[in-house]
A and B are shown apart, each in its own frame.
Chain A
Amino acid sequence: MNMLEIKNLKAGIGDTEILTGLSLTVKPGEVHAIMGPNGSGKSTLAQVLAGHEDFEVYDGTVEYMGKNLLELAPEERAREGVFLGFQYPVEIPGVNNTYLLKAAVNAKRRHQGLDEIDAFDFLKIARETMEMLDMDQSFLNRGVNEGFSGGEKKRNEILQMAILEPRLAILDETDSGLDIDALKAVANGINSMRDPERSIVLVTHYQRLLDYVEPDYVHVLSQGRIARSGDKSLALQLEEKGYDWIREAASA
């Protein structure tokens, strides 16, 4: 069974169509990179897959492990194993990071008919992951993303992903705004999640993340649909030539 199967997806905000017939198939264990210039619809795709209410789906289908993803509420998608790493993680002062992590894990466990996570187990996983991400443990006791630097926010997204162990992770520009150390730490976190049972979709503007996380496939989005697909060498070509040649090829 495919992890994710998107067919002819058309979506946007109000009357503005942003995705104009996008199709994509992701199999278990695969890492896909979705690249494209600003405004090509990369983030819209990520938000639509997570169920953001601001976006409307006009046409097409999205199946996640054989289920119709589009009819699930955002929280149901999360509990079923879909994770969105936000491009701009939201600061929520007063909501404790540990509280969110535990509530998220337990919401998923309840959904699976499991008991709530043991406090000791939780801390163990959290600490190990934070060590790998080179994150200070004080982050656990802070408000969600409150006062975090750009790099800290992205590490926090990876921490959440590692603890939630999704089947399908969609990481929206997780590499943007990171210095080289943070980029390596984040890439390290992503690589540690690679698994034959898990698929990862990396949405990115730049090629540099792909130096550290090697994708199986690279797709280039242009004007709301996939204009070209290939292996990792496509990313290098883009790095060299920019996006213009794709756009020209797409409109030709």
Chain B
Amino acid sequence: MSAVGLQQELLEAAVTALPADELSAVREAAVASFAANGFPTTRHEDWKYTNLSAVAALSNTWLQNKADEPGAQAIAVDTAVTGQIDAHWITIRNGIIDPASLRKLDSLTQSGVTLARLAENVAKESIAVDDPLSAFNAALLRDGLRIRVANDSALDKPIGLLLIDDGSVAVTQIRILIEVGEHAKLRVVECSLSAGGDPQFANSVTQAVLCDNAALDFVRLQQRRKEHLSVNRFSARLERDAVLNYNNFDLGGELARNDIVADIVAAGASVNLRGLYLASGRQHIDNHTCVDHRVGPAKSTEEYRGILNGRARCVFNGKAIVHAGADGTDADQSNHNLLLSEKAEIDTKPELEIYADDVKCSHGATVGQLDKSALFYLRSRGLDKDEATQALTRAFASAILGKLAIEECHEYLATAMDEQLDALIDEE
């Protein structure tokens, strides 16, 4: 497939045409840095298996027609999730924060949590531009959310982020900034949904800073429609004794790429990244993780699991870099995959780069089919093949679900996962 790139002049024209606002300076700077590289192609090592041509083509068309916006009709999305997971919900529609949902949470300031729209106030330097996609995000940024938790503060329940792409905008940029103060704790549930049968692309960037002894539990649940393309970047910086628990569940989307980056800059920090991807049809789900151990002792674990059917293609690239002097690092990563079809494909590559001496690091990856003897055992007890397959795949996935960072999501996620597994197994 010949690579389609993003047309720089279209981007410049679109950005210039946007009305001046709080984020103008951010956008201008980002356009310049995007120009240096453009979209990555499959010749780029980190993008070897994930082709962004469809994203570039969709973006080019959208940038060209942007004058017509809003062109398409918004389509209602089933938001039952907000009733099923007990959280302080904020709606982010096509990348724009819903002011009413934000106002309802004004009282959280009393608990030390302040929520603010980037459209109303932003410091240019707070918007990170780490790679071409985050540059693209910043170049078209109109809004975003900042969550700040004051020192020694915590909420009674998680913050819920409901990300909706309602079909009225083909390309959306989402930016979330999180700062968890010293000895503070924050829990976030992010649920991404989409509507409509037209292709859409969402490019989201979440930046988190965890101060000394801060804790952040983040559960991301991606349940977008099959026509949806997304690139999602989550980066966190961890100070002394900070703890990050990040769970990612990719249950939907046509193409989903996640870049999870954790930067351990002080001793005692702990990073736990867990993910589950269920893919069928022609879904393409790519997880790239990178944990930078700059200082030791510190601990990181990465555990990703996937179940693939049809012609699904998934990628896992987990990297831990132990920098010189980061003695006492304990890094462990694993990736296990269950392939239910001969045409499904997984490219898995756990990587360790170690420049320190006193470290404990391990990694492992497996790719396999359903255990035939277990399947026969269950069938010999009267379960039919689908039921037995359901039980075994659910058991495989429960290794991730069982370590969910936020208990409030468990029931919703278990149900969503079961439904997705049912659909995935049915496909043959």
Q: A53 contacts the other chain (Cβ, under 8 Å)? A: yes
Contacts of A42 in B (CB 8 A): none
Interchain CB contact under 8 A, A51 and B395: no
Q: Which residue of A lies closest to B398 (CB)?
A: A94
A95 touching B382 in the complex, CB below 8 Å, given contacts A90-B373, A90-B374, A90-B377: no
Say whether B384 contacts A75, CB under 8 Å. yes
Chain B: residues with CB nearer than 8 A to chain A? 371, 373-374, 376-385, 387-388, 391-392, 394-396, 398-399
- Whether A92 contacts B377 in the complex (CB less than 8 A), given A79-B382, A108-B382, comes out as yes
Within the complex, the shortest CB–CB distance from A224 to chain B, in Å, comes to 22
Contact of B391 with A99 in the complex, beta carbons under 8 Å: yes
Given A73-B385, A90-B376, output 7 extra A-B contacts at Cβ < 8 Å: A74-B379, A75-B384, A90-B373, A92-B391, A95-B391, A100-B381, A111-B382
Contact A78 B395 (CB under 8 A): no
Q: Decide: A89 and B395 in contact? CB cutoff 8 A.
A: no
Contact B382 A104 (CB under 8 A): yes
Bound complex: CA of A99 vs CA of B390, how far in Å?
12
Contacts known (A90-B373, A92-B374, A100-B378); A75 close to B385, Cβ less than 8 A: yes
A186 to chain B, nearest CB (A): 18
Provide the bound-state CA to CA distance between A95 and B381, in Å.
Answer: 13
Contact in complex: A95, B392 (CB < 8 Å) = yes
Tell me the smallest distance from the CB of B337 to a CB of chain A, in Å: 16
**Shortest Cβ gap from A70 to chain B (Å):** 15
Q: Are A107 and B382 in contact (CB under 8 A)?
A: yes
Interface residues of A (CB under 8 A from B): 50-53, 73-75, 77-79, 84, 86, 89-90, 92-95, 99-100, 103-104, 107-108, 111, 143-144, 160, 164
Q: Which of B374, B382, B385, B394 contacts A78 (CB 8 A)?
A: B382
Residues of B within 8 A of A79 (CB): 382
Residues of A within 8 A of B382 (CB): 75, 78-79, 103-104, 107-108, 111, 164
Pair B380/A51 contact, Cβ less than 8 Å = yes
A160 x B381 contact (CB < 8 A): yes
B382 smallest CB distance to A (angstroms): 4
> How far, in whole Å, are A152 and B148 apart by their CA atoms in the complex?
53
- Give the tally of cross-chain contacts (CB within 8 A): 77
Q: In the assembled complex, which residues on chain A have CB atoms less than 8 Å from the CB atom of B387?
A: 103, 107
Cross-interface CB contact of A52 among B376, B388, B391, cutoff 8 Å? B376
Asked whether, in the complex, the Cβ of A94 is within 8 Å of the Cβ of B395, the reply is yes
- Which A residues lie within 8 Å of B378 (CB)? 92, 95, 100
A78 touching B380 in the complex, CB below 8 Å, given contacts A92-B374, A103-B387: yes
Do A50 and B380 touch (CB < 8 A)? Answer: yes
Q: How many angstroms from the CA of A73 to the CA of B382 in the assembled complex?
A: 10
Query: In the complex, how many angstroms separate the beta carbon of A89 from the nearest chain B beta carbon?
Result: 7
Given that A92-B392, A94-B396, A95-B392 are known contacts, is A78 also in contact with B373, CB under 8 Å in the complex?
no
Cross-chain contact of A84 among B380, B383, B391, B392 (Cβ < 8 A):
B380
CA distance A51 to B62 in the complex (A): 58
A-B residue pairs in contact (CB < 8 Å), sample of 15:
A73-B384, A75-B382, A75-B384, A75-B385, A78-B379, A78-B380, A84-B380, A90-B377, A92-B391, A95-B392, A100-B381, A103-B387, A104-B382, A111-B382, A143-B395
A78 to B379, CA, bound (A): 8
- By a CB distance below 8 angstroms, the chain B residues around A100 are 378, 381, 383, 391
- Flag if A104 contacts B381 (CB, 8 Å): yes
Interfacial chain B residues near A74, Cβ < 8 Å: 376, 379-380
For the complex of A and B, list the 7 residue pairs with the smallest distance between their C-beta atoms, beginning with the closest: A94-B395, A107-B382, A78-B382, A104-B381, A90-B377, A74-B379, A75-B379
Contact B379 A73 (CB under 8 A): yes
- Please indicate which of the listed interface residues B371, B374, B377, B388 has the most CB atoms of chain A within 10 Å of its own CB: B377
Chain A residues whose CB sits within 8 angstroms of the CB of B377 once the complex forms: 86, 89-90, 92, 144
Q: Residue among A90, A144, A160 with the most chain B CB within 10 A?
A: A90
Contact B395 A104 (CB under 8 A): no
Residues of A within 8 A of B374 (CB): 90, 92
Docked pose: A107 CA to B378 CA in angstroms: 11
Docked Cα-Cα span, A162 to B185, in Å, equals 51
In the bound complex, residues from chain B placing their C-beta under 8 Å from that of A94 are: 394-396, 398-399
Minimal Cβ-Cβ distance residue in B for A47: B376
- Bound together, the chains give a CA A179 to CA B209 distance in angstroms of 59
* Distance (whole angstroms) from the CB of A151 to the closest CB of chain B: 18
Whether A93 pairs with B395 at a CB distance below 8 angstroms is yes
With contact pairs A75-B385, A90-B373, A90-B374 given, residues A95 and B380 touching in the complex (Cβ less than 8 Å): no
In the complex, chain A residues whose CB is within 8 Å of the CB of B381? 75, 78, 100, 103-104, 107, 160, 164
> Which residues of B lie under 8 Å from residue A52 when comparing CB positions?
376
Once bound together, how far apart are the Cα atoms of A84 and B381, in whole Å? 8
Q: Which of B371, B373, B383, B385 contacts A104 (CB 8 A)?
A: B383
Instruction: Give every chain A residue within 8 A of B371 (Cβ-Cβ).
Output: 90, 92
| CB-based contact A103/B383 at 8 Å | yes
